[in-house]
């Protein structure tokens, strides 16, 4: 398969005349890659949007079975990309091959799970809806027949994140959920993996042909300039946005959405510090294993997970645990981050923490190359943490803060002070957990997923998953971006009322 750096506009691969060129980046070599990528222009995007609107009117009428076949075909085409896909993404992200293979399998699995839901062979949200029968003889007024159904929203704009080039990007969860729901999709490629974005768009383009779907049902624009991102969210034909990325960029897109005449749902899946509550008996019994599991979870993907455990609440007298965590971090080797911007913002956050007299650096990992990021473990006490809101912010990369507490009661105050989180874990023996019932109940109102005695990294794709959380971990607490219920975000209820 040939890669061209072009954009997919309603079935045709296009490069604008005199297009500006940009390049992907090799985090490993710390150098731009050689394949040119051509910036799409505003006319191309406008055309994609119009065609997506036209395609929607056809695509929304496809049967569940046709959509299921389409989703299976997309998964097949992703698989057919074989090592070209993995090698390309590895070059663009330096994420390990095994991790990429796992993420690719998960991405295909997600498409197939939606397909199975549509086929009705999976515990399904596709067949929901209900009817209330008419009661014509009811007095004083007859009761009408009402039927609740769900219909797709329309054209959906999708923005992916750098750290999940498959699962939360061009053909990731939002695209899969929107297509399953019967919406057409336009994605902006991610500049941290533009050729991966192209390959994924080629896979869906082949599936569109194979399944004879309307060509405008999916378009992908290559864009490093942000005016196209804002044009997409401002377009009146676009009826919802799925966004995975940082809080600051979500705010910028929301500002543009705020200027629209018609407000639309913006599903922003953002960052989180994923607090880890280590309770007294558990840490006394299992300090070694807890230290090693937390460090491994932190170092996974070099800390570049939205579910990375960034805040560890630890009883003040837990010196064995802290010593073990320090040893793990000191022995850890540095690695690349996904883009030069992410490296520089990580380094800036670490420099600020090192200068702060409110926190202490406990340990840092080995820094092998200057463009790498090495792990950092800081500590402070709970009162200082409570008083300084800046310490509650996500540092995207391998950094965790141990916050020590003296009394369990302090943890309740901490929970109250927390912003919304994607996840929180409580690590405790059965007796610890019984004593922590009030804490756990309070935590449920701060997180989207509450975890007992497990690490937060790894989000299972299944019917009962919820990936999202109270603001600012996501912008719509009622919606999940992972699991079959993600389809609901791109559907809306309609009631059909008849006399009988």
Q: Which residues bind ligand NAP (CB under 6 A)?
A: 159-164, 168, 188, 190-192, 224, 226, 229, 244-246, 249, 252-253, 269-271, 306, 342, 394, 396, 422, 467, 481
- The least CB distance from residue 420 to ligand NAP, in Å, is 11
Residue 88 · residue 196 · CB < 8 Å: yes
Q: Which is nearer to ligand NAP, 68 or 422 (CB)?
A: 422
User: How many of the other CB atoms lie within 10 Å of CB of 358?
Assistant: 14
Q: What is the 3-state secondary structure (H, E, C) of 443-468?
A: HHCCEEEEEECCCCCCCCCCCCCCCC
- Residue 198 has phi, psi (to 5 degrees) of -65, -45
- The least CB distance from residue 368 to ligand NAP, in Å, is 23
Residue indicated by tokens 């023996």: 429
- The least CB distance from residue 451 to ligand NAP, in Å, is 15
How far is 293 from 164, CA to CA, in rounded Å? 22
> Distances in Å between the alpha carbon of 108 and those of 103, 132, 173, 318?
9, 38, 10, 43
How far is 216 from 99, CA to CA, in rounded Å? 32
- The least CB distance from residue 32 to ligand NAP, in Å, is 14
DSSP assignment string, 195-255 = HHHHHHHHHHHHHHHHTT--GGGEEEE--SSTHHHHHHHH-TTEEEEEEES-HHHHHHHHH
Q: Which is nearer to ligand NAP, 270 or 433 (CB)?
A: 270
DSSP assignment string, 164-177 = -TTTTSTTSHHHHH
Buried b (16+ CB within 10 A) or exposed e, 231-256: bbbebebbbbbbbbbbbebbeebeeb
Q: Which is nearer to ligand NAP, 214 or 468 (CB)?
A: 468
How big is the chain, counted in residues? 500
- Residue 416 has phi, psi (to 5 degrees) of -60, -35
Q: Which is nearer to ligand NAP, 11 or 340 (CB)?
A: 340
- The least CB distance from residue 81 to ligand NAP, in Å, is 21
Query: How is residue 165 written in tokens?
Result: 């080039």
Residue 269 · residue 185 · CB < 8 Å: no
Residue 465 · residue 448 · CB < 8 Å: no
- The least CB distance from residue 229 to ligand NAP, in Å, is 4
Q: Which is nearer to ligand NAP, 189 or 318 (CB)?
A: 189
- The least CB distance from residue 147 to ligand NAP, in Å, is 35
User: What 3-state DSSP class applies to 107?
Assistant: helix
How far is 419 from 266, CA to CA, in rounded Å? 19
Q: Which is nearer to ligand NAP, 95 or 229 (CB)?
A: 229
276 beta partners: 312, 425
**Omega within 30 of 0 (cis) for the link into 472:** yes
- The least CB distance from residue 342 to ligand NAP, in Å, is 6
- The least CB distance from residue 28 to ligand NAP, in Å, is 18
Q: Of the candidates 85, 90, 76, which has an alpha carbon nearest to the alpha carbon of residue 204?
A: 76
32 beta partners: 25
Region of 111 please: left (phi>0), alpha (psi -120 to 50) or beta.
alpha
Q: Which is nearer to ligand NAP, 210 or 252 (CB)?
A: 252
Q: Which is nearer to ligand NAP, 300 or 382 (CB)?
A: 300
Q: Which is nearer to ligand NAP, 40 or 386 (CB)?
A: 40
User: How many of the other CB atoms lie within 10 Å of CB of 23?
Assistant: 17
- The least CB distance from residue 330 to ligand NAP, in Å, is 26
- Residue 274 has phi, psi (to 5 degrees) of 45, 70
Q: Which residue is nearest to ligand NAP (CB)?
A: 245
Q: Which residues are catalytic?
A: 269, 306
Q: Which is nearer to ligand NAP, 203 or 273 (CB)?
A: 273
């Amino acid at each position: 398969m040939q890669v061209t750096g072009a954009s997919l506009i309603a079935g045709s691969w296009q490069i604008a005349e005199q297009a500006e060129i940009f390049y992907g980046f090799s985090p490993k070599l710390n150098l731009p890659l050689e394949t040119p990528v051509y910036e799409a222009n505003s006319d191309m995007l406008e055309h994609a949007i119009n065609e997506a609107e036209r395609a929607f009117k056809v695509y929304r009428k496809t049967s569940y079975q046709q959509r299921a076949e389409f989703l299976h075909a997309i998964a097949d085409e992703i698989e057919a990309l074989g090592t070209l896909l993995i090698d390309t993404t590895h070059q663009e992200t330096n994420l390990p091959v095994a991790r990429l293979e796992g993420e690719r399998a998960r991405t295909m699995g997600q498409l197939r799970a939606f397909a199975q839901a549509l086929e009705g062979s999976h515990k399904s949200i596709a067949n929901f809806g209900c009817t209330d029968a008419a009661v014509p003889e009811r007095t004083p007024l007859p009761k009408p027949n009402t039927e609740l159904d769900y219909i797709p929203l329309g054209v959906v704009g999708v923005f992916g994140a750098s750290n999940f080039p498959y699962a939360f990007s061009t053909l990731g969860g939002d695209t899969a959920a929107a297509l399953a729901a019967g919406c057409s999709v336009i994605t902006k490629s991610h500049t941290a993996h533009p050729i991966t974005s192209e390959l994924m768009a080629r896979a869906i383009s082949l599936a569109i042909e194979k399944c004879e779907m309307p060509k405008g049902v999916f378009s992908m624009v290559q864009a490093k300039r942000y005016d196209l991102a804002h044009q997409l969210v401002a377009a009146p034909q676009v009826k919802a946005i799925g966004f995975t990325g940082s809080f600051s960029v979500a705010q910028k897109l929301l500002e543009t959405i705020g200027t629209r005449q018609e407000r639309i749902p913006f599903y922003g899946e953002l960052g989180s510090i994923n607090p880890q509550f280590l309770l007294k008996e558990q840490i006394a019994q299992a300090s070694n294993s807890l230290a090693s599991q937390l460090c491994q979870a932190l170092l996974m993907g070099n800390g570049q997970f939205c579910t990375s455990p960034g805040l560890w609440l630890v009883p003040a007298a837990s010196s064995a645990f802290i010593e073990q965590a320090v040893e793990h971090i000191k022995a850890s080797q540095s690695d690349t981050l996904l883009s030069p911007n992410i490296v520089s913002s990580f380094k800036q956050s670490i420099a600020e923490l090192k200068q702060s007299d409110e926190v202490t650096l406990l340990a840092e990992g080995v820094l092998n190359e200057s463009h790498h990021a090495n792990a950092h473990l800081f500590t402070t006490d709970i009162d200082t943490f409570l008083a300084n809101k800046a310490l509650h912010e996500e540092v995207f990369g391998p950094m965790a803060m141990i916050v020590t507490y003296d009394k369990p009661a302090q943890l309740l105050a901490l929970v109250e002070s927390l912003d919304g989180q994607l996840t929180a874990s409580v690590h405790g023996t059965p007796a610890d957990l019984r004593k922590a019932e009030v804490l756990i109940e309070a935590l449920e109102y701060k997180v989207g997923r509450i975890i007992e005695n497990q690490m937060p990294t790894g989000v299972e794709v299944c019917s009962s998953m919820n990936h999202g959380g109270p603001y600012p971990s996501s912008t719509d607490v009622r919606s999940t971006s992972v699991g079959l219920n993600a389809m609901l975000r791109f559907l809306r209820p309609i009631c059909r009322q008849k006399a009988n």
